[in-house]
Amino acid sequence: MNIVHLIEYFSPALGYQETYLAKEQQRLGHHVTVVTSDRYFPFPDYDATVKKVLGNRIVGTGSFTEEGIHVIRKPILFEFFSRAWIVNLLPALRALKPDVIHIHSTSSLSTVRVARAKHTLKNIIVLVDDHSHLSVVANHWSKACFYWAFRTLFGRYLSHNINTFVAITKETADIVRTYMGISEPIHVIELGADTRLFSRSSKKRIELRKKYGWKEQNVAFIYTGKIIPDKGSDTLVDACCALPGHTAKLLFVGSGPEMFIADLKKQLKQAKKENDVVWVPMVKPIELPAYYSAADVGVWPKQESISMIEAAACSLPVIVKSSPSMQKRVRNENGVMYKEGNVQELTRAMQSMMKNKAVRITMGKRGKQLVDQAYSWTSIAKQFLLLYTKT
């Protein structure tokens, strides 16, 4: 099968679903190409957050091999609300003669453009895959205006001109219906983990814990990803400050706005917890298993994240918010949930994890088992391939 992934900003060095899925589809014997713009996503405070890993935001145009994937980068005409108008997009798609165009993001400019040209893309299946979070689509009045206009102008049109819609969680599917006006059935295919990459290493655990001065009795909690309010990083720091004593350690792996992180560090210092927290700037996915191995528990206080599945693949129990989608991710008794934003509940959840090492180990093993069975990219790639052929 000839599969084209269309995404306006492609950053393979950061991992993400579009990278792992494309690589897995290649492993399964399919021809895969990514069509994208000549630049990376306009992350807030780009230089302070992702530049260390990605480099300059503008990559350039042409044909490249990135993370083993064939990538075609096209220039853009303009950007609008973190969306890009890719120049000569439709001729580029037609030239590739795909069987499937897999678009990432319902509300992208590219989705509308492909839908408008659907009658000229004969015998090509078009699938749209969405990863939206409520904390992102509804965090400002300008976003409300944008999605009202999008829903009004394009919701019904896209419903009739896109073959299949997919969301990463039931909550995301609800967002696609409510904020984007999609009336068609929306399939749910969750995120996954590269089980070839993400596994626990006793050697790396010993090395990193020695580096940070952690003793056997120290229980290390880890968060990886963007350190921003939308991810609940401040809630995690609040809980850390509320924990008694200094047995608990906290490892942040990621980057965020300098002022926000400075405020978090100031809060930790006031609580005399600054020495209990280690800050590691954003790293490439290949480096993450070492940090998960050094930790004892993963914590993601707010948004759904691919990171929590990758941590589970490394035999870590997890603490996540209470929601139907997160309940599925801890259904093998491999983690605990707390009420989102409730610092007292998160603190109690962390304390319960600290009490019994044997329980943590058992939960971690259950998490790995769950990922192997339900969240490997091989399994997820096959689910998408089935949708391609059924459409």
pLDDT digits (tens, 9 = 90+) for 49-63: 888 889 999 999 999
CB atoms within 10 A of CB 87: 15
Q: What is the reported pLDDT for 245?
A: 92
Do 173 and 228 share a domain, yes or no?
Answer: no
Tell which wins on pLDDT, 302 or 110. 110
Q: What is the reported pLDDT for 119?
A: 87
Do 123 and 209 share a domain, yes or no?
Answer: no
Do 121 and 183 share a domain, yes or no?
Answer: yes
Q: β-pairing, 219-224 with 297-300?
A: parallel
**Sheet strand arrangement including 164-167:** 62-66, 69-74, 31-37, 2-6, 100-104, 125-130, 164-167, 186-188
* Residue of 20, 351, 327, 386 lying closest to 170 (CA atoms): 327
Q: What is the reported pLDDT for 228?
A: 86
Distance of CA 47 to the CA centre of its chain: 20
Q: What is the reported pLDDT for 304?
A: 74
Do 167 and 209 share a domain, yes or no?
Answer: no
Do 180 and 223 share a domain, yes or no?
Answer: no
* Residue 127 counted as domain residue: yes
- Strand partners of residue 187: 166
Do 9 and 135 share a domain, yes or no?
Answer: yes
Q: Is the pLDDT of residue 179 over 90?
A: yes
Contact status, residue 231 vs residue 259, Cβ threshold 8 Å: no
**Sheet strand arrangement including 335-338:** 277-280, 248-253, 219-224, 297-300, 318-321, 335-338
Q: How many structural domains are present in the chain? A: 2
Q: What is the pLDDT of residues 182-236, one digit of tens each?
A: 988 999 999 999 998 999 999 999 999 999 999 999 999 999 998 988 889 999 9
Q: Is the pLDDT of residue 391 over 70?
A: no
Do 104 and 176 share a domain, yes or no?
Answer: yes
CA distance 348 to 280: 26
Residue pointed to by tokens 């917890």: 273
> Which residues span the domain enclosing 159?
2-192+376-390
| Whole-model pTM over 0.75 | yes
Q: What's the CATH code of the domain at 112?
A: 3.40.50.2000
| Mean pLDDT across 67-78 | 97
Q: What is the pLDDT of residues 263-294, one digit of tens each?
A: 999 999 999 999 999 999 999 899 999 999 99
